[in-house]
Amino acid sequence: MPEKYVVCNPDKCLGCGICEFVCSAVKDKSLDPSFSRIRQVNLEPTGSLAVACLLCEKPPCVAVCPMEALSRDEKGVIHVDEYKCNGCGWCIQACRFGAITLHPTKRAVMTCDLCDGDPECVKLCPFEGALAFATIEEVTHGLRKGAVEKILHELGKARAEGS
């Protein structure tokens, strides 16, 4: 079965940050985005994007950890052993997507664990389609479908203007 991860559609994300609040509430019983495992990134002037772990097949974060505190399970989820992690930050630097952060009160890193396959941030995002729990195949299919719809719309517009 293909791995699913939390993916954001930047065309639908408004950068409200509710995903961060939901995550921090679920994971740390706090309404502080610094406790969140998903991060809102504002891409001025174009829009916003929420970033969570992308479940790399060969995760560089796991490979560089000198304490062997990070591991990848059979579903691709990266787990952090807080007892082994010393907060050195090597994994933070190794992650190309900024999906690993240092916990604000513990001497350990944190990353999205997909809420055991039922991500709360996706369920509670108020903007339909902004966040999804999907496979890479589903994501690329949606992107292709959206691109074709845009092309067809533009062709229809061009024909109407040419008539």
- Kindly report which listed range (13-22, 42-51, 56-65, 154-163) carries the lowest average pLDDT score: 154-163
Task: Using the predicted structure, report yes or no on whether residue 12 has a pLDDT greater than 80.
Answer: yes
Helix (H/G/I), strand (E/B), else coil: 148:
helix
**Is residue 122 domain-shared with residue 107, that is, in the same domain?**
no
Inter-residue contact 113 to 80 (CB < 8 Å): no
- The domain tally of the chain equals 2
Residues 27 and 75 in one domain: no
Residue with tokens 């950890």: 65
For 60-109, write each residue's pLDDT tens digit: 999 999 999 999 999 899 999 999 999 999 999 999 999 999 999 999 99
Q: What is the value of pTM for the model shown?
A: 0.83
> What backbone phi and psi angles, to 5 degrees, belong to 110?
-145, 150
Does residue 147 form part of some domain? no
> Which of 21-35, 80-94, 125-139 shows the lowest mean pLDDT across its residues?
125-139
* Residues 77 and 60 sit within 8 Å (Cβ to Cβ): no
CATH number at residue 79: 3.30.70.20
87 lies in some domain: yes
Report the candidate in 133, 103, 98, 142 with the shortest Cα–Cα distance to residue 4: 133
- Which domain does 20 fall in, by range? 1-52+113-135
